[in-house]
Amino acid sequence: MDIKLKNRHRISIALAVAVIITASFIMVRLYPYFENESVRVEGNSYENYDFLRSMVQGNYVLALEQEQLKQNGVFTPFRCFFPSADEELRSNSEETKSAEGETDGLDENTTRSEYLRDLRQGIVREYERWNRRFAGIRNYMDYQVIDEAGNVLSGQKGDGLIPNKQGYVFQAVLHYDDAGRLDVEAIQGENPSRLINAIHQVGDMDPMEQYYQESFLYELGLKFQPPKSVTFAYGMTEKQAAAYEMSVESQYGDNNVSESVIKIFLGLACGVGIIALIFSCFDVTLPDYSRMLRVPFELVMGILCGGVAFGTGLTGLVANTNQGEILNGLLRANFLPGVATTMERIWNLFWWSMPFLIVYWSVVCLRDVFRIGLVRYFKERTLLGLFWQWLNQICIKLYHYLFRMDLNRHSNRAIFKIVAIQFILIAIISGLWFFRMGALFLYSVLLFFLIRKYYLEWGNRYRILLKATRQIAEGNLEVAIEEDLNVFEPFKKEIQKIQSGFKVAVDEEVKSQKLKTDLISNMSHDLKTPLTAIITYVNLLKDDQVTPEQRKAYVDILEQKSMRLKSLIEDLFEISKASSNNVTLNMENVDIVSLLKEVSFEISDKIEESTIDFRWNLPDEKIVLPLDGQKTYRIFDNLLTNIIKYGMPNTRAYIDMKKEEDFVTITLKNVSAAELTFQPDDITERFARGDQSRNTEGSGLGLAIAKSFVELQNGKLFVELEADLFRVSIRWPVPE
């Protein structure tokens, strides 16, 4: 090797050692900082988010315990918080037992029952987690469960009601109304507003949301049912607060120092990795100098993860050093104080150098991907690539040896060639023993007839499959394959899916024909009314005896009816274009908060005339989405106009908007003036109206247009009914 190249390698190794020792030295020098971090505690522990979360989840624990006392026996979390689902699951289990041997409709019921069983297991796991968290704070506070009449049902405080008692440094009274909505009736602490926000953040969230499947997401009976018509009161005296602070102080200090050590270690590890990448650019041939730098990728990543995990686990070394345990041990071994201090530092430097050495080595190993290229690196420096090359060579040899032949379609000849290959293979294995050749010949004959038998059976199963597909092609969607198709069994399931798909298509076509009929009947009625009025008043204007005042009144009515006719025709064109995806969207960044406020301002006169009290709960910050501003304006206008038209006067309507992770949800709720007798999915169809008598000015296209425009902009619109409560929800994804 060139002397100059050797010197470069030596310099690279010396620089690596210097970087590793420097990073280790920095970690050791930061020990006093870590010691200060271990004793730093901010705020009261009983006002932390974890404490408040445990307290709110304790409501569910106490609610279940109260139900168990009431029932005087076992009352499961699933039955308590999912009563409808529990009853349905038990009913399905009984029906399944009684319907053994019958296959019609069982697949759908089985899928739903499996989902309910998974949901039951999920609530059990969540309840155990709530119980563990609540147990950590339960003994450090007073609590009571109070009914609507003010009677204490259970609790840990016997002398009077907690809400009326003084002397608590922390107090919270949480009430659930008859609909299960959480309300903070009283709160006491250093920062009440923050406490209320934190409590609502936990209490207003569905704790089982992660377990729901999309197909059952909007079934109210399969959603978590919080406690109802009950109050939970909590109080913590100064003595109890001090005891709780002492219980968490040690744990908090350990967690605090661990968090600081891990953050700084990861930061230094990233710095070591960046420096290693830079230094490796000046000596790109260093991996050729040592096999230790040409380790396969999978092993490098495994060792790197292990090294990082080892480094994050050295928090115990920091704690033992700061507490003097290592130094005291050396002093007890009769080392001089100066020698013991030096040995302690060397000991810490040694252990911290291990993870930094692994990080530096891993980066140098991975750096070769830029030198030799990704494809070559995959082939030469990964276990998967090496295995793939070996397997590829074996497969190619086997392919050339066995499968590169032109087989005749006649089954006997194809089987004969396969048996001939088997004969050759077995003959090679058998060696040159003469007496074994006769037995081998007999084995080959038997194998021929055996394979031929299975070949014919597969042919029969294939013909059954082919017959079924022909019947489906001829329109028979009820054909059933009862036979076991063996290797063709997966095709049976696919055929069943095809049958289900055809049935859905037929149902959609029937529904489409019904919509066409509705177009003729409903629109003819809606267009005929203003058109008849126009004809009538035109005839009245032809009368010469009409006074100027009457003529003006007739003209005003004609203008009103013509505008009504124009609006109906425009709505018809809009829904026709939306249904055929013939709408041009002008996508731009739109602040939907400002847009909704603008729509409300434009129709403020109609809102005031309606006597409906609109309650707006909109975010203060902007929410910008890529939408068509005009179409989105039409969506909001249609939905708010629906509330004004069909809402009960002198009631309240709620318009909420909130941002949840990757989605923005807009919810509009109002009380309907008329009884809601339709299904939620039907009202969003074309020409469907809440006013079945069709006496109002609506066209039956408002919600259909809104839903089409929402879906064209990658959103979803849902309608939910609860008694006379009408709720519309819109969800738009938030771009990354």
User: Hey, which of 103-107, 616-620, 700-704 has the most confident mean pLDDT?
Assistant: 616-620
Taking the model in full, what pTM does it have? Answer: 0.36
For helices 489-541 and 548-579, angle between their N-to-C axes, nearest 10 degrees: 170
Using an 8 Å Cβ cutoff, are 578 and 710 in contact? no
| C-alpha span between 127 and 613 (Å, rounded) | 40
Top pLDDT among 267 and 433 is at 267
State whether 564 and 589 are in the same domain. Answer: no
Say yes or no: 530 and 445 in one domain.
Answer: no
In a domain, 676, yes or no: yes
What is the mean pLDDT of the segment spanning 539-549? 79
Question: pLDDT tens, 301-346?
Answer: 899 999 889 888 888 788 778 777 788 888 888 888 888 888 988 9
The string over 390-413, giving b where at least 16 C-beta atoms fall within 10 Å of a residue's C-beta and e elsewhere, is eeeeeeeeeeeeeeeeeeeeeeee
Residue 260 belongs to some domain of the structure: no
Q: Average the pLDDT over each of 155-169, 195-209, 404-418, 508-522 and give the range with the smallest value.
A: 404-418
Q: Are residues 594 and 552 in the same domain?
A: no
Do 576 and 594 have their domain in common?
Answer: no
Q: Which amino acid is it at 652? A: R
Q: Are 16 and 278 in contact (CB under 8 A)?
A: no
Lowest-confidence range among 97-111, 275-289, 605-619?
97-111
Question: Does residue 605 surpass a pLDDT of 90?
Answer: no
Burial of 264 by CB count in 10 Å (0-12 exposed, 13-18 middle, 19+ buried)? middle
Contact (CB, 8 A) for 524 and 518: no
Residues 95 and 240 in one domain: yes
* Residue carrying the six token digits 């700084």: 264
Query: Greater confidence, 545 or 693?
Result: 545
Count of structural domains, the chain? 5
Domain boundary among 582, 602, 619: 582
- Assess whether 191 and 156 both reside in one domain: yes
pLDDT at 730: 92
Question: pLDDT class for 683, splitting at 50, 70, 90?
Answer: low
Q: What is the mean pLDDT of residues 388-416?
A: 58
Tell me, what's the pLDDT at 522? 58
Residue 681: is its pLDDT beyond 70? no
d(Cα 38, Cα 476) in Å, to the nearest integer?
76
Look at residue 456 in the predicted model and tell me its pLDDT. Answer: 80
Q: For residue 79, which phi and psi values (nearest 5 degrees)?
A: -70, -30
Residue 655 lies in a domain: yes
Across all residues in the chain, what is the average pLDDT? Answer: 79
Would you say residue 444 lies in a domain? Answer: yes
Higher local confidence (pLDDT), 693 or 97 = 97
CATH code, domain with 693:
3.30.565.10
Range of the domain at 411: 405-483
* CA–CA separation, 325 and 340 (whole Å): 12
What pLDDT does 130 receive? 92
pLDDT digits (tens, 9 = 90+) for 629-647: 888 888 888 888 888 888 8
Asked if 445 and 430 sit in the same domain, the reply is yes
State how far the alpha carbon of 662 is from the alpha carbons of 343, 429, 501, 545, in Å.
53, 64, 32, 68
Asked if 412 and 323 sit in the same domain, the reply is no
Tell me which residue has tokens 């049935």. 503
Query: Is 273 part of a structural domain of the chain?
Result: no
Residue 568 included in any domain: yes
CB proximity list for 284: less than 8 A, separation 6 or greater: 367, 371
Q: At residue 40, does pLDDT exceed 60?
A: no
In a domain, 570, yes or no: yes
Tell how far CA 163 is from the center of its chain. Answer: 39
563 and 613, same structural domain?
no
Helix (H, G, I), strand (E, B) or coil at 609: helix
Q: Does 166 lie in the same domain as 68?
A: yes
- Mean pLDDT, residues 383-406 taken together: 68
In a shared domain, residues 509 and 526: yes
Comparing 189 with 110, the larger pLDDT belongs to: 189
The residue out of 430, 450, 483 marking a domain boundary is: 483
Instruction: Kindly state the helix (H) or strand (E) to which residue 12 belongs, with its residue range.
Output: helix 3-29
Looking at per-residue pLDDT, the higher value among 662 and 412 belongs to 662
Token duo for residue 216: 């059952």
Same-domain pairing of 446 and 524: no
The pLDDT of 597-606, averaged and rounded, is 87
Nearest to 642 by CA among 582, 593, 590, 705: 705
Q: Which of 582, 615, 631 is the last residue of a domain?
A: 582
Q: Give 506 or 57, the one with higher predicted confidence.
A: 57
**664 domain residue, yes or no:** yes
